[in-house]
Amino acid sequence: MRAAPTILHLDMDAFYASAEQAAKPSLRGKAVIVGGLGPRGVVATASYEARRFGVHSAMPMGQARRLAPNAAYLVPRFEVYRDISEQVMELLRGLSPLVEPLSLDEAFVDLEAGGVASDEASARAVGERLRADIRAVTGLTGSVGLAASKMLAKIASEEAKPDGLRLIVPGTERELLGPMAVRTLPGVGPVTGDHLRRAGITTVAEIAEAGEDELVRLLGKAHGMHLYEMALARDERPVVAERDTKSVSVEDTFDIDIHDRVRVRLEVDRLAERCVQRLRAGGHSGRTVVLKVRRYDFSTLTRSETLRGPTDDPGVVREAAARLLEAVDTTGGVRLLGVGVSGLADFTQEDLFAQAAQAAQAKEEQERLERGEEEAVAEAAGREAEEAVPAQEAAVEAPAERRWLAGHDVRHAEFGPGWVQGSGLGRVTVRFETPYSAPGRVRTFRSDDPLLEPGEPLPLVAGADDREEGPSYGSQAGESGSSEPAIRPKSRSGGGDSMGAETSIP
């Protein structure tokens, strides 16, 4: 253990919900819940206003709606959250080369390795400056914990919430931990906590009093020894700057079980495409394709296929996932599908054989020339005829109805930028406001309104040029717009009810 509290833990406060409140003036100070809005959706983040009703992360969305029926329910905007997270991580990397991100909104920092803190006073000064910098750059708040170990720094940041700083003075750790509940320690979940409770152990002090032998008897050697060390405030884990990505995966849970085999195949293809996009975004390729299927009875099957070499080709991943699906019985219905790639590498098999591929292509062209010009022309004409059929079919195919997700950004040619408050029954309700405006007016349009289109997120903190951009009705933005949050939807597609009296349906 260190002699100075130079390990910092940062945890952004109600991150997703706070970002939405900062972007949407009408939701500030209101209950905001971000997550999947379908019947099987779960809460990703709840604002502190929503937590007063008992809503918390990982809660089923249906339960959240019963507890907080008048909250604003929004679909996550992960692109926005990632951009904000990168701004925060950049501030952390300015403090030390040893930054260990745990998620988009949480990270450890070794201040000693960065040479910015060596004692209590300097560590506290760094923590306060970091909080101020985060607010200035992102407009959001974060809580900071400072201690001599990672475990204690995380506990300190939790106690500092929201928007605070807590420093644990070295030498006072045992006194601080003693009266805390056993669930405070990392690795103690509901099952372990209940097991300890049945043994009469409910506080950290009682874990230390029970002794290592008793904990090993109750929980097994590895878990028991680890928990005993934690109860004595012993944690020598270093801050690790980089964690190797072992796999990339995406999955979807469906509101209604899928029984149609063709639909299941189409969903697997779509997931494979998304997985490869994430794979390429990280600069990786992979050898093993993994398919995950959760069936109607909650049984989960996982199948995998290892390729001859790493790839980031969407066609290869899609075909491998399809082959894996053939071995899975989905007749009873599917509630979740997932596609992943593991065995990651920084190159692809295609890279290794690029010259061979070029040679094969050159050989094919040469053979084509040898077949003669007349045959080549006939072959090309046949291809054009085949391609013309689907092109004609596509021309007469009815356009798919646009989906408007609650909370996502839009732009109207007349009214400017805003966000979707709710949609359904061929209508979409938009509140026109920006992060820098007063709460804006609400208008309702047809979902196929040609003047309405998806918009780009605006920065939460902006300069004068950005502040000039806002709803086109200018100073009237807040005159009739309600500051109440969006209500849960009464529509087929989910979203939020329209609010305000003013509508415009062309």
Distance set, CA 214 to CA 179, 207, 221 (Å): 20, 9, 10
Q: What is the 3-state secondary structure (H, E, C) of 388-429?
A: HHHHHHHHHCCCCCCCCCCCCEEEECCCEEEEEEEEECCEEE
> 416 has which bridge partners?
412
CB atoms within 10 A of CB 450: 9
CA dihedral sign of residues 196, 201, 206, 211: negative
Point out the residues that are catalytic. Answer: 106
Angle between the N-to-C axes of helices 78-93 and 15-23, in degrees from 0 to 180, rounded to the nearest 10: 110
Residue-by-residue DSSP string for 211-267: -HHHHHHHH-HHHHHHHHHHHTT---PPP-S-----EEEEEEEEEEEE--HHHHHHH
Alpha-carbon distance of 291 to 301, in angstroms, equals 8
Q: Which of 454, 342, 355, 346 is nearest to 402 (CA)?
A: 454
- For residue 404 the two structure tokens come to 């408007």
426: left (phi over 0), alpha (psi -120 to 50) or beta: left
DSSP 42: B
Q: What ranges in 24-105 are assigned the alpha helix state H?
A: 48-51, 61-67, 78-93
Tokens linked to 96: 């030390």
